[in-house]
Structure formats: structure tokens, C-alpha cells
Chain A
Amino acid sequence: MATLKLEIVTPEKVAYSDDVDGVVIPGTEGEMGVLPMHIPLMTMIHPGEIVVTKGHEKKYLAVGEGFVTVDQHSVKVLTDMAIEWEAIDESAAEAAVKRAEEAMARKHELGSEESAAVQIALAKSLAQLHVKRRRRNV
């Protein structure tokens, strides 16, 4: 059976690289499942959850904003954050959410750059929490 080569790359490191059977990515237009032999596609992603299927195993990663290129045999995810759900530190993420929300409350004091940055940070932390909690409750 054909497989997909999935690569998830952040500015710090190559976060994930493996041959997989399928992957679900949080596209800007909604969740998108990608299987082998997909048409070449380029799209953007929101902070959210990537679900990787390999055989009977599933892996879950929280990712930030970024770009995805898909072709028949590979999926390349370019993002500013990628954490496997086991590695997510829930309390740290919660604290980050809290900090970001407090910062957003003082939004008018921040410049547009800063508030945009805070918003991104908030979305990323929320994505981490979301991924973590969902897995734990399964």
C-alpha cells in the first residue's frame, strides 16, 4: 500500500518525520484529511491538531500557524510550533492561556503588532490544551 512521507518542520527542528498512512490537518478552510495519492495541493493551517494515522496507531500533535504542501507521496508541514500530545505541559499551557487572556484584556494598551502576537500565542496555547484534554478523555 502506498504511504505518505510526513514531515513536520519548525524553525527549531524537524519535529516529525515518518512514513504514514494518512494525516488530518487543521486547514484554514476546515479540517482536511490527506491520504496517499492526493493531488498536489498547497494550503495554510490554523493552530490546531494534526492527527497522524500509521497502521492501527494514531498520533496527535498540536501545531501552530503555517503552510502545508501535499503531493502524491509526501506531506510537508511548515509551522512555528509542533508538540506531540504526550509532551504537552497542561499547566504551562493553561498558564500561557491565562497570561494571554490578561494581555488581551489590556488590548488597547498594546500596539497592533503586540496584540497580534498575543492573539497568536493564545490560539497556540488553546490548541495545545484542546489536543491534550481530548486525548485524556478518550
Chain B
Amino acid sequence: MAANTRDIRRRIKSVKNTSQITKAMQMVAAAKMRKAQQVAVAGRAYAELLARVLRSVAAGAEEGAHELLSAREVKKELVLVISTDKGLCGALNTNLLREVAKFDPAKTIFVACGRKGLQYLARTNRTIAAEFELRDAPGFLETKSVAKFCMDKFTSGEVDKVTVVFTDFVNTLTQTPKAKVILPIASLEVNVDISGTHETSSVPATAGDNVEYAFEPAIGAVLNAVLPHHVYFQVYQMVLDSRASEHSARMVAMKSATDNAKQLIKDLTLEYNKVRQAAITTELLEITTAQMALG
């Protein structure tokens, strides 16, 4: 009996330690999530304005005016996978990689952003063109080099389509994996949604949207600057969304882990007390029996 109580005590202790760790991780994730959400939301005004600029530019440009706008027959495509570096964030990466698995491995080359995605791609023997490591709070310049790499592949004709697989941040409890085509820049109407504007936008559409603009310098030069910038910014927003999703998913996962641990401790404590009580009862019984036998 004594061995049994010691076992249970040991288990309670270890579960307690685990719950402390998950609790700490939950707190850290919550703080990071707030920050990541703020950044993701702050970029929305910029994204909307950029989308509007783009629409106006595209309205003034003729069809196929720029190589980033023209769709080609898709022989080979590139998929940029934005995943997390660390695990312990629930089903986030599993869901994301299910989306990745939909692409035909023979026709697709992959670019990995984040270690989990990279591991998956390596394990399933996909063609990996490059992998990038991003800091936890990535700056625009970092994501720009990722986007530039993908864009270079597109402009050099190596691939005919670029898709980004990322996790869209809907709210703290919901994150949906999404595959979004960023190149060629197909329908400009879609671009309003680039940042995942789930709330009603603060900038109402104005009549100015249909105005014909004069360009300075020429329209070609403005297009040349605005289109790549649009692609960079889109990737930036997607990375931010993925980060916000990661932290909220981790927070939720760690919260349920902490709750489970608490429940387990409760159950184990009850079990421990029962065993202890049983041991005491047996002992008393033995003493009483012995006394009666003597007496």
C-alpha cells in the first residue's frame, strides 16, 4: 500500500509541474497574441488604401500591361507555405498542411517559411526551392525578401503561378487555413480582402474609385512600383495573420492543457486520499484484532 501512495504522489507532482509550464506558455502566448493582433489590424487601413490605388491603376492600364498581371498557362507552380516554427499550437499546422497536400507534387515547387512546414515538405519528398526563417515579429523587409524570391521565380518564367498557403486569423478561437493566389495578380476586386478584413472597413468606398487618373511619371513607371509593392505587402499581411493565428491557437491549446492538468490533479488527489484512508483503516483493524486476540 505504501508504494501505491508514493506512486500517486509522484504522479501528482509531475502533473503539477506540467500544468505550471502550460500555464506559463498560455500567458506568454496571450501576450504575444495581443501584440500580433494589433499589428495585423493596424495594417488594414494601409492595405485598403493600397488596394484602392491598385484598382485605379489597373483601370487606367490596358490588358496585359504588366507581366505580373498577365496569366499564363500553368505548367509549374510555386507554393509558399507559411507555417509556425514551434509546435504545441493545436491542430493549426495539421490543418495548414492538409491544404498543402492538395497541390500536385509533380507540378509544384515549394518555398517554406517556418520549420514545421519545412519538416513536412522534406518528409513527403516535395521539391523545396528555398526556406526562409522569420523572426517572431517579422518586419516588412524580411517578408519582402521572401516575396521577392517568389516574384523572381515568376518573372523569370520558372513558375506560372504563385500561391501562398497561410492561416487566416478570423478571431481568437477560429483560424482557417487558406490558399491564396498572389501571382499573376488576377482579379483586382479580390484585393480588397487581402488583409482579411473581417470587420466592416473604416474607409467607405467613394465615387473617386471610378475617376480616371493622370499618372506622373508615366503609368508604366507607377505600375512597376505599385505592383511589386502590392505583392510584398500582401505577403507581409499573410505572415502577420499567420503569426496572430499561431499565438491564439497556442493560447487556446495551452489553456485546455492547463484545464486538463487541473482535472487530473483533482482526480489523482481523490484517489490518493482514498488509498491513504484505506491504508489507515486496515492498520487500525490490524491493531484492534491483535488487541482482541491478546485480551
Contacts and interface: CB of A to CB of B under 8 A. Distances in A.
Nearest to A42: B213
Contact of B216 (A14, A29, A78): A29
* Nearest 3 interchain pairs by C-beta: A43-B216, A40-B211, A42-B213
Contacts of A29: 216-217
B225 interface: yes
Contacts of B57: 42
Give the contact-size bracket for chain B: 20 to 34
B145 A40 contact: no
B21 interface: no
Nearest to A111: B145
Nearest to A70: B213
B214 A42 contact: yes
Interface of A: 7, 9-14, 27-29, 39-44, 67, 69, 71, 74, 76, 78, 80, 113, 117
Nearest to B149: A113
B213 A41 contact: yes
21 contacts: A9-B46, A11-B43, A11-B46, A12-B39, A12-B43, A13-B45, A40-B211, A40-B212, A41-B216, A42-B60, A42-B215, A43-B217, A44-B221, A44-B222, A67-B229, A71-B213, A74-B208, A78-B46, A78-B50, A78-B53, A113-B148
B45 A113 contact: no
Contact of B213 (A13, A14, A40): A40
Given A9-B49, A41-B216, A74-B208, 8 more contacts: A11-B43, A11-B236, A12-B42, A28-B217, A41-B214, A42-B222, A43-B215, A44-B217
A44 B229 CA distance: 12
Interface in B137-164: 140-141, 144-145, 148
B229 to A, nearest CB: 8
Contacts of B208: 40, 71, 74
A69 B48 CA distance: 13
Nearest to B226: A67
Contacts of B60: 42
Given A41-B216, A42-B56, A69-B56, A13 B42 contact: yes
A9 B141 CA distance: 18
B110 interface: no
Nearest to B140: A11
B151 to A, nearest CB: 12
Contacts of B226: 67
Contacts of B166: none
B211 A71 contact: yes
Interface in B204-243: 206, 208, 211-217, 221-222, 225-226, 229, 233, 236
Contacts of B144: 113
Nearest to B217: A29
A71 B50 CA distance: 15
A27 B225 CA distance: 14
Contacts of A71: 208, 211, 213
Given A9-B49, A11-B233, A67 B43 contact: no
Interface string B48-77: 011011001100100000000000000000
Contacts of A41: 213-216
A71 B211 CA distance: 8
A42 B211 contact: no
Interface string B79-102: 000000000000000000000000
Contacts of A113: 144-145, 148
